[in-house]
Amino acid sequence: MLQQFWADLTFLHWRVDAAVVAPLLPPGIVPDIFDGSSWVGLIPFRMVGSAFFGGPAVPYFGTFTEVNVRLYGVDEFGRRGVVFASLEASRLAAVVAARAVFGLPYFWASADFGSEGQEYRYASKRIGGGGPSTRIVSRASGVRVVDDPLADFLTARWRLFVGRGGKTAVQANRHGAWPLVRAELVELDDALLAAAGLPGIADRAPDSVLFSPGVLTQFSGARPITAPERGRFWLPGAVARPGNIVGDTGLEPMTSSV
């Protein structure tokens, strides 16, 4: 249904108590846990060349800067996915469409991106009513991330859970292998986390900082959560190997690793 290239991503992640995350998740979704903690991500990037139903990339409106706050949840069948607490985008048309079609909590923002060498700068301010803003500066290293269980947990996600009208839907997704490197946070002045219901998180250093030049992503339409197909059921406690489908998503990875 939808194809996009996500470019120049900085992944900032913090440990957070599951009890803090639980009230922010849609019905039927519980916090996903890694190393005793749930996690919250603040992820700025460039959305490039959005295209619908296999058509050509949408000019202008399909390319913009985005910053999202995301959480990690598990459905009743043990399948892991992402839950977006908020998404800032610099194209009003994209915000309206995403809210109407997918039920995602997009907000129109004045968002910009810039880079110099291995330093990447992102800035966003929500438009209207003195909305929250963020400023992020990261610096990518040349150290590749390989066979890192935490990085897999934070990036190898094959579905998106969306709460809408008191119910929860799921969207499947697929993408190629994330080319990840270690990065450092140079500057952070953020109010998006607090606005999403997570005060105080941005006051401490993130527990994980990664950078990726990007991947091509594809999404299905939203559908109700149903039991996995027989033979594809994921048992809670099992390790989700990179590139493997965890339960029934409806889409397969583009490559054998993520």
Can you give the pTM of this predicted structure?
0.84
Question: Which stretch of 21-25, 99-103, 241-245 has the lowest confidence by average pLDDT?
Answer: 241-245
The band of 3, judged by pLDDT with boundaries at 50, 70 and 90, is low
Q: What share of the chain has pLDDT > 70, as a percent?
A: 79
Tell me, what's the pLDDT at 230? 47
Residue 139 identity (one-letter amino acid) = R
Q: What is the pLDDT of residue 239?
A: 34
Residue length, the chain?
A: 258
pLDDT digits (tens, 9 = 90+) for 62-81: 578 999 999 999 999 999 99
pLDDT of residue 45: 95
| Tens digits of residue pLDDT in 127-169 | 987 899 999 999 999 999 999 999 999 998 889 899 887 889 8
Q: Which two tokens stand for residue 102?
A: 């997918």
30-31/38-52 β-pairing: unpaired
> What is the pLDDT, as a whole number, of residue 15?
98
Residues 100 and 79 sit within 8 Å (Cβ to Cβ): no
Q: Is the pLDDT of residue 59 over 70?
A: no
Q: Which residue has the tokens 């907000």?
A: 107
Q: Note the pLDDT of residue 206.
A: 98
Confidence of residue 96 (pLDDT cuts 50, 70, 90): confident
User: Contact 11/153 with Cβ under 8 angstroms?
Assistant: no
Residue 251 has pLDDT above 50, yes or no: no
User: Which residue in 42, 40, 39, 47 sits closest to 66, CA to CA?
Assistant: 47
3-state secondary structure (DSSP) of residue 22 = helix
pLDDT tens readout for residues 102-127: 778 999 999 999 999 999 999 999 99
Look up residue 188 and give its two tokens: 């952070």
Separation CA 63–CA 108 (nearest Å): 14
| 193 sits in which H/E element | helix 192-195
The DSSP secondary structure of 214-225, one letter per residue, reads EEEEEE---EE-
- With tokens 């803003």, the residue in question is 133
pLDDT score recorded for residue 13: 98
Contact 213, 7 (CB under 8 A): yes
Name, in order, each residue with C-beta under 8 angstroms of 24's C-beta and a sequence gap of 6 or more: 71, 83, 85, 196, 197, 198
Q: What integer is the mean pLDDT of 40-61? A: 67
Contact 212, 11 (CB under 8 A): yes
